Chains A and B, each alone.
Chain A
Amino acid sequence: MSLTKNLHPDEKYKAGKLGTQMTLVGLGLIAGMGILSLILGAVHKGPGGEDDHFKRFLYAYVTSWAWIASLSIGMLWLVLLHHLTRSRWSTVVRRIAESMTGAFPIIWLAGLGFVLPVLFGYKDLYYWAAPDAAKDPAIAHKLGWLSPGMFTMRYVIYGAIYIGISTYFSKKSREQDESGDPKISISLRRASGPGMILFSITTCALAFDVLMSLAPKWYSTIYGVMFWGSGEIAAFAALGLIVLWLQRNGRLVHSINEEHYHDIGKWMFSFTFFWAYTAFSQFMLQWYGNMPDETVWYKYRMFGDWQWVSIAILVGYWAFPFVFLMSRWTKRIVPSLVFFAVWQLVFHWLDMYWDTMPQYDWTMVGNHNAGPLAGPIALHHVGFTAVDITVWLALIGFFLVGTGRGLKGNLIPVKDPTLGMSLAHEQL
């Protein structure tokens, strides 16, 4: 037993055609599901049978866009954390995490799907863009910040920051594959601190802009942290699944073992709890504070049909995985980890859905100015539709195209000074 190991001589660590395969699957999903979504979105009717002008489509688009964005955001955080804390276990999976952050340009391109309509005058997605918003004193003073032009500008800035940080870290990491220069590790460690600060502020602001401003009267300062924590669960789940897929294709079979899966599982577990902690903090303060402008967001989700989604998230996204991922063995036995990874990915989507979709419902049924519960609660329905799912699949396509783009060359940082320790990594 030694503290470091050399890369196995038979290890296949070149991506080969796998990245292209992933990209092709992604393109297929975009083409098939994208067209289907557009058709379904065009024919979708509001609850009263009226034409909803792609409103459902765009709500589903924002939901699933937040889902794919959170995967890359989550992995960018892992890369930053890896350098910040000089982690060792994660060296073997860092290149794959970097590939997932390589999806940022494609994800931001995909996001134009809802940003451009807003910029060019679509009023129904974000209520603050609607003409009535200016009449509401609780929203009117926010319209300087929440205006289509400002919104688009910030969207571009966020994208530039994410793409900038992720490109810098991936590029330097690949440079080290060639030169093996340990100074690169040191310079990345220096950059990771400021990078983490910039990352945190950007992620919070992104969550406020894209998700929280769907309900422009409501506000919560912990919202961005909650979005990030929830996304981190899914990001680690996705990382585990991509690693498994690579191993099934004969890559990295000697390098990544249950010790590393165990750590991926630990992160999933800890963020399952972290997300629940922040989500409960937000709920608890607003519930106890009992201020109408805050509780209205929860009242909508606690009564009527939506309460069943809330309960499903409480049990499915927190209680069940929390209890079962606590055990060492559920994280070390790969099929069990895969089960929880898929499970949490689905529930992360439901969590995003729970964040966004009630606003759709409320703007369709309620009078926004009078508040979301102006109409009887019985009128409000969860109303899962096919377009929610097809848009999700199409956006997964964007994520796969972006990640496939990054899966090229070495799948492991072959000359990273900590690689040996990462290969020999063992859980005590």
Chain B
Amino acid sequence: MSDPTETSEKPATPATPAAPATPAAHDAHDDHDTPPPGDGDGNGNGNGQDGALYGILAQYDTPGELLEAARKVKDAGYSEFDCYSPFPVHGIDPAMGIKRTILPLVIFCGGFVGATGGLLLQWYCNAYQWGWNISGKPTWSIPANIPIAYECGILIAVLTSFFGVWAFNKLPQVWHPLFRSDRFARVTDDGFFIGIEAADKRFDAEKTKALLEGAGAIAIENVHFDPDPANKQMPKWIMGIIIASTAFALVPFAIAAKARNTKSSEPHWNIFPDMDYQPKAKSDQADDLFPDGRENRGEIANTVPRGWLEADETFYHGLEHADAGDSWTTGFPKQYPDSSAVPPDLRGQPFAIDMRLLKRGQNRFNIYCTPCHGYDAHGQGMVPTRVRSEGGNWDARNLVDPSGPVVQMPNGQLFNTISNGYAKMMGYAAQIPPWDRWAIVAYVRTLERAQNASHDDVPAADQGSIK
């Protein structure tokens, strides 16, 4: 294997100059005048069929010799040649006279386009085409858009680098003339090769061979194109997979397009039926398992769940008990129950309308009530304001209107409204514990008083100053 003459002098299989490669089968490597095919050297595949001459392949023993040879080939003025080695050889690029790739610059541009595109996409969707007013937040704010822009920048940069490598290497190419050489198989093991293409302007069968030999080649052989153009094409089954998978990837889009443009009375598709219909019990569902046909097992007879006793009708329900029937209490509870529903330091204490209660009421009111009723309780909170700005209608009651119903309501009824809701308003019993609801009642009463104050309410000493 190491004697250069062995290959060169191997008796040539009778070269059939049949089927010279048709122009259509030429690729980027051989867009030149085809040299006369079959000059007498054999290719290792032994099929006895040779196409046009691709070039000369020379093998070297070490990476150092390869580097040296590459330098000589470059200095001799060749440009259409390449080096092949089992691993990256340091310094091969300058030795071959290859300039640095512009791929990094292309990737940078890709990343830039991606980041800018990501920003534009968000601007178009969120700020321009379909701007939503969400609690008064701006539709366009740079910090919120940075992560998406960053991800888009990375994505496009990576895709650019992936496809850039393919494009710059003229891939995909499923064949190469060098693979017809048996010797060349060593390139993935311990072989170091230079292939000079016949396409090079300086190519001359004899002189080129002499140059490669002079550079210390241990073997030299001519390599020919495959005469069969079919072997230069992508195998049909690979093309089939590519076409089929591309078509398959378009199916969801086609379905979506059809759904957007047609009407149907069919129920919608359940792509994940076990997510849409989960095997679990919900309290309002029917079930065959139990004799009463309900999922909900209800409360166990003669028991009260912890914290559900609520014996104090006034504190928990705003009711004043009387034999003639219950009525809404007009005052406040007399005492906090000794219950875990009340802060520890208030349990069992007398109910006091003090600054602490009012501050607490203000705090809870500002959190839970102001979105609709507004800070001044005039019913002009953010929600009605925004619904009106979108052309809709949403009325929240003015809690302090002296002619309105709330001012006239007994405290117990106001408490009940907070607990259980009224009209569009949902009950807040789940979010606000009873003592907080009473604090809100006290605060609303305070607001009513403050908003409807008369001149006489001002302390006598100050009355003069604001008359």
Contacts and interface: CB of A to CB of B under 8 A. Distances in A.
A288 interface: yes
A1 interface: yes
A179 interface: no
A287 interface: yes
A1 B64 contact: yes
A2 interface: yes
Contacts of B185: none
A157 interface: no
B82 to A, nearest CB: 17
B90 A426 contact: yes
Contacts of B67: 1
A284 interface: yes
A283 interface: yes
A287 B141 CA distance: 11
B63 interface: yes
Contacts of B63: 1
B64 A280 contact: no
Contact of A426 (B91, B100, B144): B91
Interface string A3-19: 10000000000000000
Contacts of B100: 328
B11 interface: no
Interface in A264-288: 280, 283-284, 287-288
B143 A287 contact: yes
A199 B147 CA distance: 30
Contacts of B88: 428
Interface string B44-71: 0000000000000000000110010000
Interface string A386-428: 0000000000000000000000000000000000000000101
Nearest to A281: B147
Contacts of A1: 63-64, 67, 89-91
A3 B64 CA distance: 11
B341 interface: no
A326 interface: yes
A325 to B, nearest CB: 13
A326 B146 CA distance: 20
A288 B134 CA distance: 13
A280 B143 CA distance: 9
B138 interface: no
Interface string B133-152: 00000000001101100000
A173 to B, nearest CB: 27
Nearest to B111: A326
Contacts of B144: 284, 288
A3 B63 CA distance: 11
Interface in A230-283: 280, 283
Nearest to A424: B90
B64 A284 contact: no
A428 B103 CA distance: 14
Interface in A297-336: 326, 328
B78 interface: no
A428 B63 CA distance: 15
B108 A326 contact: yes
Interface string A288-299: 100000000000
Nearest to B137: A290
A280 B64 CA distance: 48
Given A1-B63, A2-B64, A328-B104, A428 B146 contact: no
Nearest to A290: B137
A277 to B, nearest CB: 9
A280 B142 CA distance: 12
Given A1-B64, A328-B104, A283 B143 contact: yes
Interface string B89-124: 111000000001000100010000000000000000
Contact of B90 (A283, A328, A428): A428
B147 A284 contact: yes
Contacts of A280: 146
Contacts of A428: 88, 90
B130 to A, nearest CB: 21
A289 B17 CA distance: 77
Nearest to A3: B90
Contacts of B90: 1, 3, 426, 428
B104 A284 contact: no
Contacts of A284: 143-144, 146-147
Contacts of A288: 143-144
Contacts of B89: 1
A89 to B, nearest CB: 13
A420 B90 CA distance: 15
Contacts of A287: 143
A2 B89 CA distance: 9
A294 to B, nearest CB: 14
Contacts of B146: 280, 284
B432 to A, nearest CB: 22
A284 B144 CA distance: 7
Most buried by B among A1, A280, A326: A1
A100 to B, nearest CB: 30
Nearest to A283: B143
A284 B142 CA distance: 10
Centre residue among B88, B89, B90 by max chain A CB count within 10 A: B90
A284 B148 CA distance: 12
A288 B67 CA distance: 57
Nearest to A288: B144
Contacts of A283: 143
A284 B146 CA distance: 9
Contacts of A3: 90
B466 to A, nearest CB: 29
A2 B104 CA distance: 27
A283 B147 CA distance: 12
Contacts of B104: 328
A394 B143 CA distance: 38
A328 B90 CA distance: 17
A426 B88 CA distance: 12
A77 to B, nearest CB: 25
Nearest to B91: A1
A267 B329 CA distance: 74
A288 B90 CA distance: 49
A428 B101 CA distance: 12
A288 B142 CA distance: 12
Interface string B221-237: 00000000000000000
A2 B67 CA distance: 11
Interface string B396-418: 00000000000000000000000
A110 to B, nearest CB: 38
Contacts of B91: 1, 426
15 contacts: A1-B63, A1-B64, A1-B67, A1-B90, A1-B91, A280-B146, A283-B143, A284-B143, A284-B144, A284-B147, A287-B143, A288-B143, A288-B144, A328-B104, A428-B90
7 shortest interchain CB distances as A-B pairs: A1-B91, A426-B90, A1-B90, A287-B143, A1-B67, A284-B143, A428-B88
Interface of A: 1-3, 280, 283-284, 287-288, 326, 328, 426, 428
Interface of B: 63-64, 67, 88-91, 100, 104, 108, 143-144, 146-147
Given A284-B144, A328-B100, A426-B91, 17 more contacts: A1-B63, A1-B64, A1-B67, A1-B89, A1-B91, A3-B90, A280-B146, A284-B143, A284-B146, A284-B147, A287-B143, A288-B143, A288-B144, A328-B104, A426-B90, A428-B88, A428-B90
